[in-house]
Amino acid sequence: PIEIKTVDDLTGPGAPPGTVPTDVEQATGLERLEILGKMEGVDIFDMRPLDASRLGTMESPVLVRSAGDEQYAGCTGVPADSHNVIWLGMSKERPIERCPECGSVYKMEYVGPADDGHHHHHHGPEEPKTFADFVKPEYRY
């Protein structure tokens, strides 16, 4: 089996001089990880369809596995294909999303590496403000 231990393992060896490189020889990064995984019979990105046999609820959401800080999922309703695809974005900070069309609830389940202790700064867009952000404290309940 091929073992990936460091980032350096995600750089291909290249092709011998005078030859055209294969994908395995020239691929780098995530593309190389995916190719090496397929060679070992592992679907690195788990591209299986999500469970569309039931409507996700807050108590029992449809789980969406993610090895990264963010994940997108496409909802097509219950049963599957009962409405056009609506893309939902989830993150570690905001793991739960509800489809505005059918109400199905999705939850990102982080399956990536444990926190390495480094402080990561989120560089994505700021969470949009809503009317609730401007309500005076004395009017909140």
Q: Please report, in range form, the residues annotated as the binding site.
A: 75, 83, 99, 102
| Residues tagged in the binding site annotation for Zn(2+) | 75, 83, 99, 102
DSSP code string of 65-79: EESSSEEEEEE--SS
Pairing of strands 62-66, 105-110: parallel
Per the CB < 8 A criterion, the answer to whether 99 and 106 are in contact is: yes
101: Cβ–Cβ under 8 A, 6 or more apart, which residues? 75, 77, 83, 84, 86
Which two three-digit tokens encode residue 21? 């490189």
Alpha helices for the chain (secondary structure H): 23-26, 29-39
3-state secondary structure of 12: coil
